[in-house]
Amino acid sequence: MLDGALLLCVKQEIGKYIGGRIDKIHQPSREEIVLSIRSAAGNPRILISSSGTSGRIHITEDKIENPQTPPMFCMLLRKHLSSAKLIDVRQTGLERILFLDFETLNELGDTVQLTLAAEIMGKYSNLILMEKSGRIIDSIRRVDDIEGERLILPNVTYTMPSRKERLNFLTALPEDIEQSIRAYKGISLAKGMIGIFEGISPVLCREWIYLATGNTDIASDDLNDAVVKRIAENVTACRDRFLSGDREYTVLRDSDDLPREVCFDRITQYTGLYTSVKCASAGEALDLFYSERDRIARLKQRYQDMYKTVKNLHDRILRRTEVRRMELSETADRDKYRRWGDLISANLYRMEKGMSSFECEDLYEESQPLVTIKLDPKLTPSQNMQKMYQQYRKADNASKRLTVLIEEGEQETRYIESVQDLLSRAQNAEDINELRDELASQGYIRKNGKKIKSKPTKPLIYTSPDGFAIYVGRNNRQNDELTKSADKRDMWLHTKDIPGSHVIIRAEGREITDEAILFASQLAAYHSSAQTSDNVPVDHTYVKYVKKPAGAKPGMVIFTNNRTLYVKPKKA
């Protein structure tokens, strides 16, 4: 990963822009900061990540989307470092800490020096803003309760992490290298060399051993003078290449094209297993190594936040609808109140005020059995009759209203389930943002206070084997737009009673073939919540038979004259 030697390469690349000023500061995620520098030498963007799995600092070319509302730490950096001048970039030995020194004006207009310390130390990675005196202003991750570790809190004096005395391969003498290797006693020499040399990654240690022995690792018991001498020669040769600028920034990718290793030097130990990609700079290599991993991490973070919101909506609608069903079931026997009112009306002459019950023949039954009607003794017989009719009307009105509300709840449930399905298949942050905007427009969540215009995403477009263009919606608004803009002779497809995308086959004056319908049906099944099933029903009909009811939720339509195909989902 990013070791001390590669960090030195990054230091040298950032050092080219000393004298430049900070133009913009962004915080794309909880653990990342991007500083845009404006200088005569160029306008680089410096990415600093304090992630426990991908902590790093380097110049980046990646376009990273920023949140609509800047986090608090970003606002703090903007307050203290906006237009600040970069005056130095420091590193102690090959420690994995880079100090960026800035000169700026404080609130009183006095020139002061502030320092950003980017600590790239695995799970302890951090980004700390401090004064020249070492007083911490704040950090992206506060540390206040780690046994044996230093405190990272506002107003606490900054102290360096504990540092073990190890060899710097850039300055160590060959005889010192040989002596340290011989003195090492352990099972694995590759692991031992990490303890011998400061700021060197495991892949580089294994490479030095591999070049000397043909193996990526050997036991300390197998060492002899010749092997030790060859390893030391490989170390010094690597040092000479580094100092002369003969660096081969390398990213190794596995058979699935996933990045596995990154280094400032050539790596030969994985020949035939990994593909080696050469880069022009440390920043380019680190961009290549981390970009896909970070994109997935950012998407996952936004997905989890959105998923929690949608799930809570879904659960709340289900609970509300279930309560209404229970209330509706309580009105099922409402006719008894109307019948009791009629029976009281037919027997008013036999009743008196103060009666708590009345027994009479049930005229609605053929056998006319006796029925006992409970009465309110405080009311007259006529008032008890009116009360029965009133209870009937109340239950009848409630039944009608609850039936409508339950139907609306079921429609809402189907709509939210469609959003859940689309969210599960979101490919980027834009897809998630559009779903959030859609929910906000329907009143389910609050709209963001600051509206940032973004270019809307376009539907997915495929071509069937026989040449028909097939469009697949990425969200419910797109689904509506696709169906609305389609020609009445185009074909509309959707999974039967399963949340999924609307799919349109463009006829363009031709007769749509069975082959195109089958292909589009497989796409519709793939772009649905039944993506992992083996046999998915897909309805298809001409667009002229598809209608959107007035007031319906986005993506909700009714259709007729449809036929159903059972297909296996297929990714095109």
DSSP code string of 258-316: -EEEEESS---TTTTTSEEEEESSHHHHHHHHHHHHHHHHHHHHHHHHHHHHHHHHHHH
Are 8 and 106 contained in the same domain? yes
Give the model confidence (pLDDT) of 128-142 as tens digits.
999 999 999 999 999
* Predicted local distance difference test score (pLDDT) of residue 521: 94
Are 491 and 389 contained in the same domain? no
Are 365 and 468 contained in the same domain? no
Report residue 454's pLDDT band, with 50, 70 and 90 as the boundaries. Answer: low
Say what percent of the chain tops pLDDT 70.
95
Q: How many domains does the chain have?
A: 3
Go through 158-191 and write b for each residue having 16 or more CB atoms within 10 A of its CB, e for each that does not. Answer: beeeeeeebbebbebeeeebbebbeebeeebbbe
The verdict on residue 189 lying in a domain is no
Report residue 362's pLDDT band, with 50, 70 and 90 as the boundaries. Answer: very high
- Mean pLDDT for the stretch of residues 81-106: 95
- Mean pLDDT for the stretch of residues 178-192: 81
* Predicted local distance difference test score (pLDDT) of residue 452: 46
The verdict on residue 206 lying in a domain is no
The verdict on residue 342 lying in a domain is yes
Distance CA 543, CA 281 (A): 54
pLDDT of 460 over the 70 cut:
yes
- Mean pLDDT for the stretch of residues 55-70: 88
* Predicted local distance difference test score (pLDDT) of residue 527: 92
Report residue 223's pLDDT band, with 50, 70 and 90 as the boundaries. Answer: confident
Give the Å distances, CA to CA, from 143 to 28, 149, 234.
Answer: 22, 9, 40
Give the model confidence (pLDDT) of 314-341 as tens digits.
999 999 999 999 999 999 999 999 999 9
Which range marks the domain in which residue 117 is found?
Answer: 4-139
The verdict on residue 99 lying in a domain is yes
The verdict on residue 218 lying in a domain is no
- Mean pLDDT for the stretch of residues 170-185: 88
- Mean pLDDT for the stretch of residues 485-493: 93
Are 499 and 557 contained in the same domain? yes
Distance CA 434, CA 478 (A): 10
| CB-based contacts of 274, cutoff 8 Å, min separation 6 | 252, 253, 254, 260, 261
Are 382 and 472 contained in the same domain? no
- Mean pLDDT for the stretch of residues 31-56: 94
The domain that holds 117 is classified in CATH as 2.30.310.10
Task: Out of 378, 410, 442, pick the residue that ends a domain.
Answer: 410
Are 36 and 113 contained in the same domain? yes
Are 29 and 125 contained in the same domain? yes
Give the model confidence (pLDDT) of 511-525 as tens digits.
999 999 999 999 999
* Predicted local distance difference test score (pLDDT) of residue 145: 64
Q: Which residue has the tokens 């913009």?
A: 24
Are 397 and 473 contained in the same domain? no
| Radius of gyration of the chain, Cα coordinates, nearest whole angstrom | 36
Task: Out of 122, 139, 156, pick the residue that ends a domain.
Answer: 139
3-class DSSP state for residue 197?
A: strand
Q: What is the pTM of this model?
A: 0.62
Average pLDDT of the chain is 90
Are 387 and 508 contained in the same domain? no
Are 399 and 523 contained in the same domain? no
* Predicted local distance difference test score (pLDDT) of residue 148: 57
The verdict on residue 49 lying in a domain is yes
- Mean pLDDT for the stretch of residues 343-352: 92
How many helices and strands, by DSSP H and E, does the chain display? 12, 22
* Predicted local distance difference test score (pLDDT) of residue 146: 58
Helix (H) / strand (E) element for 86: namely strand 85-90
Distance CA 144, CA 314 (A): 39
The verdict on residue 58 lying in a domain is yes
Distance CA 108, CA 389 (A): 80
Are 401 and 508 contained in the same domain? no
Pair 542, 491: CB distance under 8 Å: yes
Task: Out of 90, 107, 139, pick the residue that ends a domain.
Answer: 139
The verdict on residue 379 lying in a domain is yes
